[in-house]
Amino acid sequence: MPPLILASSSPYRRALLTRLGLTFDCHSPDIDESPLPGERGDALALRLARQKAAAVAAHYQHGLVIGSDQVCVNGDKLLGKPGTIEKAREQLLAAAGKRVSFYTGLCLHDIGSGQSRALVEPFHVHFRPLTAAQIDRYLEQEPALDCAGAFKCEGLGISLFERMDGRDPNSLVGLPLIALVDALAEFGVEVP
Q: What is the mean predicted confidence (pLDDT) over 130-151?
A: 95
Mean pLDDT score of the chain: 96
Residue 51 included in any domain: yes
Residue pLDDT, tens place only, 36-65 = 999 999 999 999 999 999 999 999 999 999
Residue 120 included in any domain: yes
Q: What is the total count of domains within the chain? A: 1
Q: What is the CA radius of gyration of the chain?
A: 17
Is 69 marked active-site? yes
Say which CATH number the domain at 48 has: 3.90.950.10
Residue 118 included in any domain: yes
Q: What is the mean predicted confidence (pLDDT) over 112-138?
A: 97
Enclosing domain of residue 42: 4-186
Residue 1: the pLDDT is 82
Q: What is the mean predicted confidence (pLDDT) over 11-33?
A: 96
Residue pLDDT, tens place only, 73-102 = 999 999 989 999 999 999 999 999 999 999
Angle at 48 between CA 162 and CA 157, to 5 degrees: 20
Number of other residues whose CB lies within 10 A of the CB of residue 5:
22
Residue 119 included in any domain: yes
Residue 191 included in any domain: no
Residue 192 included in any domain: no
Q: Which of 25, 30, 69, 136 is catalytic?
A: 69
pTM: 0.94
Report the greatest alpha carbon distance in the chain: 54
Residue 131: the pLDDT is 97
Q: What is the mean predicted confidence (pLDDT) over 175-182?
A: 98
Residue 68 included in any domain: yes
Q: β-strands 64-74, 4-7: how paired?
A: parallel
